[in-house]
Each structure stands twice: as C-alpha cells, then as structure tokens.
Amino acid sequence: MAVAALEQEILSLRKRRQLYSLIGLLLVVAVVVSGYSKSNEMNSGGFLQGLSKFFDYPGEIVAEAWQSGPAFFSLILTFVPAMLETLNIAAVATLIGGAMAVVLAMASTRNVDSWGPLIPVVRRLMDVMRAFPELIIALFLIFVLGSSPVPAMIAVAFHTAGALGKLFSEVNDNIDRKPIEGLSACGASWLQRIRFAVMPQVAPNYLSYFLLRLEINVRASAILGFVGAGGIGQELRRTIGWGQGAGDETAAIFVLLFLTIMMIDQLSSYLRGKLVGAGRAH
Amino acid sequence: MAYETFNEPVSDRNTVFQTVRRRAWITVAVPVAVCLYLVYTWFAFGVPQLLSKAQPERAAILATDSVAYKVHVTKLLRRDIMEVAIEGERRATYENEDLPDWVKVDGTDALVDLGQGYEIAIAGKVMEFTVPDYGTIRVTATQSGVKTELPPGPIPDWIKDDPKKFDARPTLDRRVQVTRTKIEVHNYFGGWENFWFPFHSELYGLSFSQLWAIALSNERIDPSQSNMSLIMHDFLGNPDWQHGEVFIALFETIMMAVLGTLTAAFFGLPLAFLAARNFTPSKILRFGTRRLFDFLRGIDMLIWSLIFIRAFGLGPLTGALAIAFTDTGSLGKLFSEALENIDNKQVEGVRATGASQIQRYRFGVIPQILPVFVSQVLYYLESNTRSATVIGALGAGGIGLMLVETMKTSRDWENTSYIIILTILVVIIMDQTSSWLRRKLIEGK
C-alpha cells in the first residue's frame, strides 16, 4: 500500500538523519579530544603539571594585594587615569567608526535607494574591514606613529566601521519603505529621504548596536594596550613584566578592569533594553 | 471617545511646542557635545605632538620592503673579502661563478651597476658612487671612520654624512653605506626572492611545471627520499620564510578558536538551564550561575590568558582555555535568555502525551533553542578566530605571536607581510566556513 511505503520512507529518512547527527557528534568529540591532546603537547607546560600551579599566580597576586591593606584602594585610584585613557580610546573609536558605519550602511542597502553599482563594492569593502584583525593595524601604526593611544584608536575605529556597517545595513534591510515613497512623491532629495524617512526608523536599533560595540571596544582597547598602544593594557604589561613584587599593582589593575567592564556592560544592556523596547512600542 | 470631546485637542499646544523645542535642542546639543569631546581627546591623546613625531618615511620603507627584496654587495674591509648575498644572509650567498650580471667582481674589487646611470666602483678601501645629475661621490674608509669627498654645491638630503658612517639613498631602491669596517651596496628588486625554495636547494628557481615533472619522475634527486617528499621538505624547511613554522602557527590559531568555542558551548548549554527562570526554581542556584557567567565574561580574555600562561606555559592550550572561559560566560548568558523566551506550549503538548522529564526537554525544548544555539556558536567561532590572533600576540602562541616577533625584529618586512596576508586569509576562510555552515544547518539550504 502507498501509506505503508510512505511510512517506510519516513522511517528510513529518520534513521538516516539520526545517523548523520551521530556522525556529526562523534566528529565534534573526536576533534575536541584530539585537539586538546595535541595542544597539550604543543604547550610549553603541560595541563596536568599546570593544574596544581593554576591558583599560584592568582594566589600570589591576592596575597600581595592583601598585604598592602587599605593602601590597596588608593593603588586602584592611581590607575584610574590609565583606565580613562582606555575608555577614551574606545569611545572615540566607536564614535568615528560608528559615523563611518552609518555612511557605509547607507551606501550598501538597496532598500534605501542607494546607487546600485556601489552596493557590492561597499559590501566587499566592509568584509575586508571586518576581517582585518585590529592587532595588525595597531602594530603597523605603532611602528609608524610611535607608541600612543592613537594607533589603537584608528585600528579599533577601522574594525568598528566594518562590523557596525554590516549590522546597520541589516537594519536598513528591514525598514518600512512607505515613508520613503511618501517623501519621494513630494520630491525629496536622497539626503532628505534618509534624514526624514530612514533615520527615524533605524535610530533606536543603530544606537543599541552602537552601545554593544562600545562595550566590545573597551575590551579591545584594553588588549591593544598590551602591545604598546597606551591605556590600562600598557600599565598591565609594565607591572607583569616586573615579575615578582608588582603583584599588588597587577591586582589593582585587574580589579579596576573588572569593575569598569562590568559597569559598562550593565549600563549598556540597560540602555539597549530601553532603546529597543521604546522602538518596539511605536 | 465621547462625541462632545471630538473637537478638543488631545494634547494642548504648549506641550506640543515644548516637545518640539526640546527635540530641536537635543539635535543641536548632542553633535556639539560630541565635537567638544573629540576636541578634548585630540589634546588628551597628544595628537599634535604625535603628528610632529610621526615617521611617514618608515611607512614608505616598510611598503617597499614588504614587496621587494634587496641584494647586498658587501665588502668586509677587515677580512678583505667580497660577498654578494640576498638580504645579506649567509645562507643565500651567490657563488663567484654565477654572480648576477649587474655585479662584476675582480678579486676583492667590484663594479656595481645599479641601472639608469647609477654606478658604484669599489677599489681597496675607496668607494666611488656616480649619481646622474649630481656627480661622483668618493668615500674612503679610514682607521677611525670615513672620509667623504662630495661634488661641489649644497649637500642633498638623501646623503647622511657623519665621520663614523656614510649613508646615501638617492632613490628608494638604491642605497650605499660605508663604515670603517665595511662597504655595503643594496640593490632592490621586486618580488619575494627564494619564497618557494631555499637558495642552495636543487629546486631553487624551477617553474611549477618543472616541479611537477620532478615530482612524477622516477629518478631521485636525493637517493634517501622520494622527490615528492624532497619538494615538501625543502619548501617547509625554507630557512628564510619558515613555511613549516608559519603553517604550524596558523594551525595553532585555528585550533585555539575551534577548541575554545566548542568547549564553551559544551559547558555553556547545561549551565544555561541552571540560569533560566523557567527551568530552575531555586533562586540561589540561578543567582549563583548568573554571577558565574558575569565573572567569566567580566574577567577579560586578556586576564584569563595571562593567568593561564603562568600556569600552563605558552601554547595553543592556553589560548583555547582563555577563549573557553570567557565564552562560557557569554554563551551561557545568551542560551539562558533563549531558554527563558521559549514557547511553553510545545513543552506542555509533549507533557500531555505522558512524556518523562527528559523526553520533554528532548522534544519540547531542544528543537526550539537548537537554531539559536548553533548560530550563536558559529558566530563566536568566527569572532574567536580573530581573538585567537590577538591573544596569541600576548604570548599564547599561534600566528599572533609570530606576527609580533617578526614585527619586533623589523628586519625582513616581506616576512611580516606574508604572515599578515595569511592571517587575513585564515580569518576570511573561517568567516566563510561558519556562515556556510550556518546557512546549511539552520536554513537547510
């Protein structure tokens, strides 16, 4: 009977799917197990030998911080200027990168009537900008401009423009075209259409992505400091480079970094919740 | 709305004007504030001093050097010998019988033709450099330094003449240096010399088709191994380009990203159930798991990798664990949010058929969050490839570390640009692979 044949077919399909899932799962397990054993070999210290030492370094830092007593809090305060520098790097990079991203996004979405031949070009451009690791640009600029926050800022801004540009263009893809058509019917220019029809629709989402990026960029700027781009990362490299004796300073930087990142996280997720919530209500 | 209030305005005139005015104010105030902030940071970052100290010529040198190689013609005055070598490497010295045709060596003297009328004659301790439109520079190495005789007229800025060292670079691709101990001529050529095989390998300078023929032929160049393995061995063991080590470093980087992400997903998913309101009634457990996520995420990848370097040493394991720790926090948070947003009707439906707890999870919950799970893991895999190069540079190994090392030595920029190109290629390939997988697994296309 046809129904029986169909049932047979479905059963065999299901069996095959289960088999594929099983193979996929086994493959993942194999990759993880062999990967860990391989990387354990490649590491200069082994996992098992290291495990006992795992708490040594954090313990050492905490002990030194504990010894310095109440002075530890004033030590934290001495690193606030460096932290501010890192925050400045992130903020300026996000502002400049974000502004570039808006331009790129407007130029790369069909939905907002941008010039057709430009679209694929700008899209590829954004792909390249995103693929460039910040580190490479930062190192190159440090070589040319010397150690300072500016190389990190430019590197992060460049990457931000590519990453945000893509997210922004996805927002543009989803807008309602009726306001644009309404404005074109009144004879509005392209800029006027963007200003009065597109911007009001996309602004909440843009701002929300912008804040998310700010959060990511604070981390990125802290890490770039470690290769010589100023800010808290550079301080961290200094205290770690001294080896023994600077444990309390290292601990102070860790605490400050942790607190700042957590604060930015909380603030940005609160604001994002508000923005997108408000956007939905309209 | 009642009939009699139809003609009354919903909000009064004043409120409307107030709102409009406030909005207008904001559209002016925000850009002004941003501009002020940018001006402040312009000075806080010390941009003016930076611009005055910048060395744009370094960028030009770097750009030339990364697409070109130079051949050094060196006369070591102490030992009185002449050497012609690629990049001045001992490993890549030309034999006297097959010198390039722009160098004529006669005993310990030499005539170097740098093209377009630039000519250098080295005789004894004297170097004569003929520059078109300028004249002949004569530099003699003495016991204490160098003695320079320039043509009459002002000294052009491409000559750096001081009693210890003479340095002339009339064009970007021609350079002469004279010190007390040696006379050195650099001649630049485009391309990456001995990229495929080392200079003294039998395979040096062969074309692809010749290589193919050698690989297939039965006659062994080296009796101890097959031609194919000789080709691989000479290519990977190239001492200038270190292909073998670069590939291992790339592999390490990819391994860090893959292992880190998979581990994070493996631990993040079960923990996410503990952090989701609709699966864990216990408030304390939920609170604890959420703070654990915050802790793992908040202590940055930077700090985790520094701690792991101390414990486990340098290498991909350190990087993988740093990524795994940070991302367990991020993925756990995302998964727990996805779990809180699931549709309960499916679970209830499964439950109505008399399903057990595990069956309810298997058929009611997992199908709902699986797409979120897979797509987020793939997104993180993508961004972790980039992160892996960065934390590699901090010392966790991989291509990042190699990149920083070649940049620090800043000797051979072509090696640096080679590594940069490979890094970007790997990032792009991982990007494409993960978006391809995402399309396959989620949209079923």
At B275, which amino acid appears? A
B56 neighbourhood in chain A, CB within 8 Å: 144
> Is B310's CB within 8 Å of A134's CB?
no
- Give dist(CA B274, CA B284) in Å, integer: 10
Query: What is chain B's mean pLDDT, rounded?
Result: 81
B400 pLDDT higher than 70:
yes
Q: What distances in angstroms separate CA A155 from CA A197, B184, B399, one per listed residue? A: 33, 37, 19
A161 near A144, Cβ under 8 Å? no
ipTM for the predicted complex: 0.81
Number of other CB atoms surrounding residue B299 within 10 Å: 19
Name the more confident of A69 and A20.
A20
Tell me the chain B residues in contact with residue A59 when contact means C-beta distances shorter than 8 Å: none
Spatial CB neighbours of B352, under 8 Å, sequence gap ≥ 6? none
pLDDT at B410: 61
Can you tell me which residue has the tokens 């809090």? A73
- Please give the average per-residue pLDDT across B258-287, as a whole number: 89
Name the most confidently modeled range: A39-48, B81-90, B100-109, B361-370. B361-370
Choose, out of A48, A135, A237, the residue to mutate when testing the contact with B (most B CBs < 10 Å).
A135
CA pair distance B422, A127, nearest whole angstrom: 16
**Cβ separation A153–B45 shorter than 8 A:** yes
- How far apart CA A66 and CA A72 sit, in angstroms, is 8
pLDDT in tens, A52-80: 777 777 887 788 878 877 888 888 888 89
Q: Tell me: the pLDDT tens digits for B49-72? A: 888 887 777 777 777 777 777 777
Give the number of A-B residue pairs with CB atoms closer than 8 Å.
166
Give A132 to chain B, closest Cα distance, Å: 6
Residues 6 or more apart whose CB falls under 8 angstroms from that of A128 comprise A162
Q: With an 8 Å Cβ cutoff, is B99 touching chain A?
A: no
Higher pLDDT, A55 or A276: A55
Residues of B in contact with A39 (CB under 8 A): 252, 255-256, 259, 315-317, 320
Question: For the range B219-224, what are the long-range contacts, defined as Cβ-Cβ under 8 Å and sequence gap of 24 or more?
Answer: none
User: Is B307 in the A-facing interface, judged by CB distances under 8 Å?
Assistant: yes
Give residue-wise pLDDT tens across range A128-138. 888 888 888 88
Average pLDDT over residues B421-443: 84
The top-scoring range by mean pLDDT among A21-25, A272-276, B182-186 is A21-25
Q: In B79-149, which residue ranges form alpha helices assigned H by DSSP?
A: none
Instruction: Return residues 248-267 of A near B (CB < 8 Å).
Output: 254, 257-258, 261-262, 265
* Contact between A57 and B320 using a beta-carbon 8 Å cutoff: no
pLDDT in tens, A244-256: 667 788 888 888 8
B257 touches chain A (CB under 8 A): no
Confidence check: pLDDT of B47 > 80: yes
Cβ partners under 8 Å of residue A269, min gap 6 = none
pLDDT for B35: 92
For residues A196 and A168, give the distance between their C-alpha atoms in angstroms, rounded to a whole number. 17
Residue B131's SS3 state is strand
Q: Give the A window 209-228 contacts with B, CB below 8 Å.
A: 219, 222-223, 226-227
Distance of residue B228 Cα from the nearest chain A Cα, in angstroms: 26
Q: Where are the domains of chain B?
A: 2-50, 68-190, 243-443
Q: How confident is the model at residue B390 (pLDDT cuts 50, 70, 90)?
A: confident
Q: How far is CA A137 from CA A102, A275, A278, B428, in A?
A: 22, 33, 38, 16
Chain B positions touching A51 (Cβ under 8 A) are: 311
Q: What is the DSSP string of A177-220?
A: SHHHHHHHHTT--HHHHIIIIIHHHHHHHHHHHHHHHHHHHHHH
User: For residue B282, is pLDDT > 60?
Assistant: yes
- Partner residues linked to B122 by β-bridges: B110, B127
Question: Which chain B residues are within 8 Å of A17, Cβ to Cβ?
Answer: none
* Closest CA relative to residue A122, chosen from A171, A177, A94, A161: A161
**For range A174-179, the mean pLDDT:** 88
Mean pLDDT across chain A? 85
The answer, for B441 touching chain A at a CB cutoff of 8 Å, is no
**Among A34, A144, A212, A254, the residue to mutate for chain B (most B Cβ within 10 A):** A144
Subunit contact A35:B46, Cβ cutoff 8 A: no
- Burial of residue B130 (CB within 10 Å: 0-12, 13-18, 19+) is middle
Tell me, yes or no, if B119 comes closer than 8 A to chain A by beta carbon.
Answer: no
What's the pLDDT tens digit per position in B9-33?
777 888 888 988 988 898 889 889 9
Show the DSSP H helices in B2-82 as ranges.
Answer: 13-44, 47-53, 56-67
Q: Scan residues 142-201 of A and list those with Cβ closer than 8 Å to B.
A: 143-146, 148-150, 153
CB-nearest to A47 from B59, B62, B312 is: B312
DSSP secondary structure string for all residues of chain A:
-HHHHHHHHHHHHHHHHHHHHHHHHHHHHHHHHHHHHHHHHHSSS-HHHHHHHTTHHHHHHHHHHHHHTTHHHHHHHHTHHHHHHHHHHHHHHHHHHHHHHHHHHHHT-GGGT--TTHHHHHHHHHHHHHHS-HHHHHHHHHHHH-SSHHHHHHHHHHHHHHHHHHHHHHHHHTS-SHHHHHHHHTT--HHHHIIIIIHHHHHHHHHHHHHHHHHHHHHHHHHHIIIIISSHHHHHHHHHHT-TT-HHHHHHHHHHHHHHHHHHHHHHHHHHHHHHHHHHH-
Is residue B241 pLDDT above 80, yes or no? no
For residue B384, give the chain A residue with the closest CA.
A133
Q: Note whether B317 contacts A39, CB cutoff 8 Å.
A: yes
Residues of chain B contacting residue A127, judged by C-beta atoms under 8 Å apart: 428, 431
CATH topology of domain B243-443: MetI-like fold (1.10.3720)
A56 Cβ under 8 Å from any chain B Cβ: yes
Residue with tokens 């895999």: B381
Q: Which of B298, B386, B424 sits opposite A261 (nearest CB)?
A: B298
The predicted structure's pLDDT at residue B200: 65
Q: Which of B44, B410, B420 lies at the smallest CB-CB distance from A136?
A: B420
Which chain B residues have a beta carbon less than 8 Å from that of A93? none
Answer whether A226 sits within 8 Å of B394, measured CB to CB. Answer: yes
Least confident of A158-167, A268-277, B254-263: A268-277
B343 Rama sector, left if φ>0, alpha if ψ -120 to 50, beta otherwise: beta
d(C-alpha B163, C-alpha B271), whole Å: 71
Residue B113 has pLDDT above 60, yes or no: yes
Name every chain A residue with its beta carbon within 8 A of the beta carbon of B308.
50
Instruction: Residue A229: count other Cβ atoms within 10 Å of its Cβ.
Output: 31
Residue B8 has pLDDT above 80, yes or no: no
When mean pLDDT is compared across A140-144, A229-233, B76-80, the lowest value belongs to B76-80
pLDDT category, B156, cuts 50, 70, 90?
A: confident
Q: What is the pLDDT of residues B349-370, one digit of tens each?
A: 888 888 888 888 888 888 888 8
Query: Tokens 């101390």 belong to which residue?
Result: B310
**With bands split at pLDDT 50, 70 and 90, how would you rate the model's confidence at A1?**
low
Tell me the average pLDDT across A5-18.
89
One-letter amino acid of A259: L
pLDDT beyond 80 at B226: no
CB of B409 less than 8 A from some CB of A: no
Q: Is residue B347 classed as helix, strand or coil in its secondary structure?
A: helix
Contact B428 A145 (CB under 8 A): no
Query: Residue B326: its pLDDT value, please?
Result: 92
Which range has the worst mean pLDDT, A151-160, B219-228, B267-276? B219-228
CB contact under 8 A, B54 and A146: yes
d(CA A79, CA A68): 16
If one compares A232 and A47, the residue with the highest pLDDT of the two is: A232
> What percentage of chain B exceeds 70 in pLDDT?
92
Of A50, A95, A135, the CB nearest to B393: A135
- Print the SS3 string covering B316-346: HHHHHHHHHHHHHHHHHHHHHHHHHCCCHHH
User: Which residues on adjacent β-strands are paired with residue B211?
Assistant: none
pLDDT digits (tens, 9 = 90+) for A191-215: 888 888 888 888 888 888 898 899 8
Structure tokens given for A77: 């305060």
pTM for the full predicted model? 0.79
Is the CB of residue B32 less than 8 Å away from at least one CB of chain A? no
| Helix, strand, coil percentages, rounded to 5, for chain B | 60, 15, 25
| CA of A265 vs chain B CAs: smallest distance (Å) | 9
CA separation for the pair B327, B264 (Å, rounded): 5
Nearest to A131 among B302, B391, B427 (CB): B427
pLDDT at position B88 is 65
**In the predicted model, what is the mean pLDDT of residues A249-269?**
85
Q: Are B258 and B298 in contact (CB under 8 A)?
A: no
Instruction: Give the bridge partners for B186, in sequence order.
Output: B72, B175
